[in-house]
């Protein structure tokens, strides 16, 4: 009898494979949910050079006064993601710290709708960061050192990356996910603009592949314009690697090179006969090694030692003046995935040709930074 009872129970637990397994008739609210996240980043900065302010601008103490140290809130980002169902979602990201200054064309960062058909095709429309390099692929709320690279901001001002408004598609090329594509079209005149500033749309494409375990290489190509500029191009290549050295020691490597048209320099040149847009070129390179010690205690999860080297020349064919930056940094990580971290470091900037009374001037900036993700 006990044996028969067991057989009856087993049969009762078996699924009826003759019936339709998909019983959902309305996917309107399937997997619907709302999530909130954000990052708060506060810092203290100190100019380590006499007669240079916290923004790196050299000044004459006899005629002007400048701020050489300050506390500030760099980022106070709040992100809302609403999953409508398993295919549609909406993403909004705002940086409330922008209200500390003129918030025009600043506060709203991400504002896009995403459609996910399958791992091979996802579409997003609205304001987002085009995937044009490593720093666009890394989560916007993870800052492993003082800030993003000088290269990122230079290319962002020229419409090649950072927050832009348009349309993008992305996904896997092969089932394993080891080869991925990103492509899209966008206005190219940066975030929070009422409309495009010309009738040319910027186009971009990125292909990245995992050549080995924990070793990824990506290539980027783009075409576009800004305001009244002619059409220019941009190219880039980057690589990331994660190398375990022991049970607790990991080496993280990140490097990137990009070159592209400097639309701002082209538009600012008022010569009656300007050179071709291909002559207004900028290029940048950085190498960012991080040695991570996974401490693993209840309160201190990890310690990271890093030193990013950057090289940037914003007009290397017509007015070359390379800027080199070295940022040694120590991060104490108190919660996994950088949910709580204290960072201390120095940003050392050197120019080939210094320009007095401007930010094109050698300077060193010390900082202590505390950031919390939630």
* Residue 45 reports pLDDT greater than 50: yes
CATH of 30-373, one of 1.10.760.10, 2.120.10.30, 2.40.160.10, 1.10.340.30: 2.40.160.10
Burial 199-215 (b: 16+ CB within 10 A, else e): ebbbbbbbebeeeeeee
Confidence of residue 24 (pLDDT cuts 50, 70, 90): confident
pLDDT of 16 higher than 90: no
Give, as one character, the DSSP assignment of residue 140: T
At which residue do the structure tokens 């408004």 appear?
A: 165
> What DSSP designation does 230 have?
P
Burial of 230 (0-12, 13-18, 19+ CB in 10 A): middle
- Is 227 in contact with 198 (CB distance < 8 Å)? yes
Q: Check: CB of residue 126 under 8 Å from CB of residue 112.
A: yes
Q: Beta 108-118 vs 69-83: how paired, if at all?
A: unpaired
Q: What is the DSSP string of 323-374?
A: EEEEEEEEEEEEEGGGTEEEEEEEEEEEESS--TTSSSS-EEEEEEEEEEE-
Q: Which pLDDT score is estimated for 21?
A: 56
User: Is this prediction's pTM over 0.95?
Assistant: no
Phi and psi based region of residue 214 (left: phi greater than 0; alpha: psi -120 to 50; beta: remaining) = left
* Burial (CB count <10 Å: 0-12, 13-18, 19+), residue 71: exposed
Output the average pLDDT for the chain.
92
Distance CA 18, CA 6 (A): 23
76 beta partners? 40
Query: Measured between alpha carbons, how far is 4 from 217 in angstroms, rounded to an integer?
Result: 60
Q: Which sequence spans correspond to the domains of the chain?
A: 30-373
Beta bridge partners of 88: 115
Chain segment 256-301, per-residue pLDDT in tens: 999 999 999 999 999 989 999 999 999 999 999 999 999 989 999 9
Nearest to 301 by CA among 344, 255, 341: 341
Cα separation, 93 vs 258, in Å, equals: 27
Residues 6 or more apart in contact with residue 47 via CB below 8 angstroms = 53, 54, 56, 68, 69, 363, 364, 365, 366
Report whether pLDDT(4) > 70.
Answer: no
pLDDT at 17 over 80: no
CB of 203 closer than 8 Å to CB of 222: yes
Q: Is the pLDDT of residue 87 over 70?
A: yes
Higher-pLDDT residue of 6 and 56 is 56
Rounded to an integer, what distance in angstroms lies between the CA atom of residue 298 and that of residue 301? 7
Residue 64, pLDDT score: 85
How does pLDDT run across 118-152, given as a tens digit for each residue?
A: 999 999 999 999 999 999 877 777 888 999 999 99
Contacts of 20 (CB under 8 A, 6+ apart): none
Give the DSSP per-residue string, 287-333.
EEEEEEE----SS--EEEEEEEEEEEETTTTTS---EEEEEEEEEEE
Report pLDDT for 19. 46
């Amino acid at each position: 009898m006990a044996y028969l009872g067991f057989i009856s129970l087993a049969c009762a637990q078996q699924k009826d494979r003759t019936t339709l397994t998909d019983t959902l008739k309305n996917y309107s609210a399937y997997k619907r949910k709302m999530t909130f996240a954000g990052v708060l980043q506060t810092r203290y900065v100190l100019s380590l050079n006499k007669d240079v302010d916290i923004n790196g601008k050299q000044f004459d103490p006899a005629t002007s006064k400048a701020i050489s140290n300050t506390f500030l809130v760099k980022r106070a980002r709040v992100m809302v993601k609403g999953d409508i169902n398993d295919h549609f979602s909406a993403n909004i990201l705002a940086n409330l710290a922008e209200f500390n200054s003129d918030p025009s064309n600043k506060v709203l960062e991400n504002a896009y709708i995403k459609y996910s058909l399958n791992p091979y095709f996802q579409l997003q429309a609205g304001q987002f960061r085009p995937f044009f390099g490593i720093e666009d692929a890394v989560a916007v709320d993870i800052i492993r050192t003082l800030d993003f690279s000088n290269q990122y901001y230079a290319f962002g001002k020229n419409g090649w990356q950072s927050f832009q408004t348009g349309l993008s598609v992305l996904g896997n090329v092969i089932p394993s996910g080891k080869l991925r594509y990103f492509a899209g079209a966008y206005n190219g005149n940066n975030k929070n603009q009422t409309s495009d500033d010309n009738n040319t749309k910027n186009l971009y494409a990125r292909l990245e592949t995992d050549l080995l375990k924990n070793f990824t290489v990506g290539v980027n190509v783009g075409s576009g314009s800004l305001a009244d500029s002619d059409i220019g191009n941009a190219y880039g290549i980057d690589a990331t690697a994660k190398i375990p050295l022991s049970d607790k020691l990991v080496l993280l490597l990140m490097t990137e090179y990009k070159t592209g048209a400097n639309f701002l320099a082209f538009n600012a040149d008022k010569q009656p006969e300007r050179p071709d847009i291909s002559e207004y070129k900028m290029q940048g390179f950085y190498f960012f090694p991080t040695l991570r010690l996974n401490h693993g205690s209840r309160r201190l999860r990890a310690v990271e030692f890093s030193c990013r080297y950057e090289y940037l020349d914003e007009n290397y064919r017509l007015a070359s003046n390379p800027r080199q930056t070295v940022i040694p940094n120590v991060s104490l990580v108190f919660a996994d995935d950088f949910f709580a971290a204290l960072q201390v470091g120095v940003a050392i900037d050197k120019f080939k040709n210094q320009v007095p009374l401007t930010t094109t001037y050698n300077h060193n900036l010390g900082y202590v930074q505390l950031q919390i993700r939630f």
